[in-house]
Chain A
Amino acid sequence: MNMTINILSLNNFSVYAEYFIVVSIIYILIMIILIINNIPGLFIQTAISEAFATILFLSCILILNENQFKITNEYFYSLNTHILSDNVSAISKFILCFCSFIFFIIASEFFKKSVLTFEFIILLFFAILGLIFICSSGDFVLIFLSIELVSLVSYLITGFRKKSIRSVESSIKYLIIGAIASSLFVLGVSFIYLFTGSFLISDYTILFLDLTYSFCTKKLFVANIEIIDYKFLSVFENLINVSAFNHNIFSNSFLIEIGLFLVFISIFIKLSLAPFHLWSLDVYENAPTLATFFFSAITKFSFVIFLFRVSISFIQYYYYIITNMCLIVGLTSILIGSFGNLQQKKVKTFMAYSSINHMGFVILSLSIFKNVSLVASMYYLIVYMLTNLLIWYVILLISEMKKKYQFKNSINFSDFLLLNNSNPVLAFGLLIGFLSSSGLPPFIGFFSKFQILFVLIQAKFYIVALTAVLCSVVSTFYYIRVIKILYFENIFIGKLYEPINTNKILIFCLLFFSLIFLLIKPNFLYLVVYYFVIQFYSELNIYYLL
């Protein structure tokens, strides 16, 4: 590792957004403490939330203003090679800041009758800082610290309702499982460090660069896909034997394979993917609804970006680990997410299972490491974030009424009864959101799911694609059941709902129309996602993998 000291060189200072956010958190924290000490009983949650929304909007502008959005795929490392600034980091930071901006505007209306004090919002903002650092870091230590920051905030947020036993219990569950995941991560990183001698991603790109096939023709990478398909279930054989495809200096590199395996497993635990998903069902149900909204819509994005980064560094020599693991985990996620949700009556567990399902699709297309599959995966992720923002907004609106009259914080589907009769706009929004999640044709969810299945079939994973399609059919059932509850229920007296202000409905309409706009022009996101994916390949000069 080259430990030269280059902190103060402002030529390559590319952390404007992070710097702005850190300074603003500290400033706002000091101001709040000074204000609250003087005036008792002051209600500042909406003000803070909207202030943070404007800060995120301005940081979006800061990110756009930097020299990273180029058509040429130049990239540079700054701050002692810890921060990697390229199109990937810029685009993912922008998307994250934008979706968090929408989140804070949504959240600003829901503090009036809840026990969530201003610390909740400040902790959320620390988490967003951590997520932004994950997107733009080029160093495993920084990634570990940012993951810890996000996870710590998550543990605190799930237990924020002190008086409720279930909330605190789920917080402790999340703490224990998250701590185990972080320790597995550190173990994996230490194994990789033992073998390679550094934890900088810039070093891995140099170390694992194999230029022998740089100028080959198309035939070889068709053969590459066939070899991946052939070695589908031979995970353990590959782990024990010498790497059969490449006889090189990394032939006895079992430690690095274990390290990579552990890192991936820890991220799968944090993403609540299939064999490691059981904590998320309890935690998502018993946490405050805003917290669950934050977990399912916003934190998952950064972890998937980190998975992309780690995969692209190690893909040339250790493709079989990454592809096999992602395939198995993705497939079980889809199976469990579809079949586990059939008997759910609680809304938050329902959304947890559906997020397992969606993340399963994203990871499944990550297992085929081609240009088109990464595009499909990223596109699905962005569409998932938008639909979840819409659906959770309506869930929050409905839970507000239930809290006012029944003092209950858990939401069942019986609270959605005949929403069409009292508020057809909300019901229509939920209709579009759920139909898009299930993947039915005219909506954007269909296009994103179709892209993933198309990529699977191109890679000759026929049985995988078949099971994914059958599980989508099963999942369509429970989405349509919700729509039936909204529109076609056979009761005479419906539920009481609260009237909505224009403030609240504006963001709802914007999200709703964004989904319809994507329906008309799905290519709107495609250019952004395409530049995102191309940047990965240009960093390593491995255009043959395209």
Chain B
Amino acid sequence: MMKNNIFINIVYFFIVLSSVFVIISSNAIYALFFLVLSFIFSSILLILLECEFLALLIIIIYVGAISVLFLFLIMMIDFKMKNYYRHLMIYLFSGFFYLSLIYFLVLDHAIINFKTCYDNKFFTSNFYINWVSLQNSIYEAESYSLILYSFFVLQFLLIGLILLVVLIGAVYFINFHVKTSKSQITVKQIACF
């Protein structure tokens, strides 16, 4: 009997691995690379769950826009992460303590709810497809639009307002005023630091 979910376990493993390497790596570009990898593996997970539209959308937005933004940031600012592990031993034991708390008390009991795999559409096993109903069914992108603009209209408009807030903030922080007059600040002239 072939296990149905070995591929999904591989994807889980690689997501966790690449997230860990984002945190551990001492070179910023390597961290960015592993971040991109974790996004790609998340989208593979979504493809396995039959949400192709969302998966490709995640690649376009997260990898194509946000990771490129971080790349520009790393290029322009000189990140030195040499002394990252100087204080490791101080925080190691308390970190392990909290992690073991979370693992033994919380995760153990949460995982039980996820153990049965209801996805039996692996290529080795037989399953029945009703082609007639499949023709008339709503595909994924259409289902998003059916719900997002009718049931979640208020949330959609609120998301627009959030983006407006971000836009206002970005314009304010980038705005560059040329100072035309210089005033005398006596406190700064007298003070010695």
Task: Confirm or deny: A492 has a beta carbon within 8 angstroms of a beta carbon on chain B.
Answer: no
10 contacting pairs across A/B (C-beta < 8 A):
A83-B154, A119-B171, A119-B172, A122-B168, A145-B162, A149-B165, A152-B162, A156-B172, A254-B112, A255-B113
B150-175 to A contact mask, C-beta < 8 Å, 1/0: 11111100110110111011011100
Partner of B154, one of A79, A149, A162, A407: A79
Contact of A119 with B150 in the complex, beta carbons under 8 Å: no
A7-B150, A149-B161 are contacts. A254–B155 as well, Cβ < 8 Å? no
B19-63 to A contact mask, C-beta < 8 Å, 1/0: 000000000000000000000000000000000000000000000
B66-109 to A contact mask, C-beta < 8 Å, 1/0: 00000000000000000000000000000000000000011001
Nearest residue, chain A, Cβ from B151: A3
Task: Determine how close the nearest CB of chain A comes to the CB of B156; give it in whole angstroms.
Answer: 10
Roughly how many angstroms separate A504 CA and B62 CA in the complex, as a whole number? 49
A236-B105, A254-B109 are contacts. A126–B161 as well, Cβ < 8 Å? yes
Q: Which residues of B contact A (CB under 8 A)?
A: 105-106, 109-110, 112-113, 147, 150-155, 158-159, 161-162, 164-166, 168-169, 171-173, 185, 187-188
Contacts of A240 in B (CB 8 A): 105, 109
Nearest residue, chain B, Cβ from A137: B154
Known: A149-B161, A255-B110. 17 other contacts (CB 8 A): A5-B150, A79-B153, A80-B151, A82-B154, A117-B172, A123-B165, A126-B164, A145-B158, A145-B162, A149-B158, A153-B165, A194-B113, A239-B109, A254-B112, A254-B113, A258-B110, A406-B187
Main secondary structure of the interface of A (DSSP, over half): helix
Task: Confirm or deny: A133 has a beta carbon within 8 angstroms of a beta carbon on chain B.
Answer: yes
Roughly how many angstroms separate A160 CA and B109 CA in the complex, as a whole number? 45
Contacts of B112 in A (CB 8 A): 254
Partner of A142, one of B106, B147, B154, B185: B154
A148-B162, A162-B173 are contacts. A119–B168 as well, Cβ < 8 Å? yes
Contact of B155 with A141 in the complex, beta carbons under 8 Å: yes
Chain A interface size, under 10 / 10 to 19 / 20 to 34 / 35 or more:
35 or more
Contact of B147 with A146 in the complex, beta carbons under 8 Å: no
Nearest residue, chain A, Cβ from B170: A156
Q: Which residues of A contact B (CB under 8 A)?
A: 3, 5, 7, 22, 79-80, 82-83, 117, 119, 122-123, 126, 129, 133, 141-142, 145-146, 148-149, 152-153, 156, 159-160, 162, 191, 194, 236, 239-240, 254-255, 258, 406-408
Task: Determine how close the nearest CB of chain B comes to the CB of A102; give it in whole angstroms.
Answer: 23
Task: Determine how close the nearest CB of chain A comes to the CB of B51; give it in whole angstroms.
Answer: 15
Partner of A145, one of B109, B110, B155, B187: B155
Contacts of B161 in A (CB 8 A): 22, 126, 129, 149
Contact of B110 with A407 in the complex, beta carbons under 8 Å: no
Top 3 nearest A-B pairs (CB, nearest first) are A156-B169, A254-B109, A119-B172
Nearest residue, chain A, Cβ from B183: A407
Contact of A126 with B165 in the complex, beta carbons under 8 Å: yes
Roughly how many angstroms separate A308 CA and B151 CA in the complex, as a whole number? 26
Roughly how many angstroms separate A148 CA and B165 CA in the complex, as a whole number? 11
Contacts of B171 in A (CB 8 A): 119
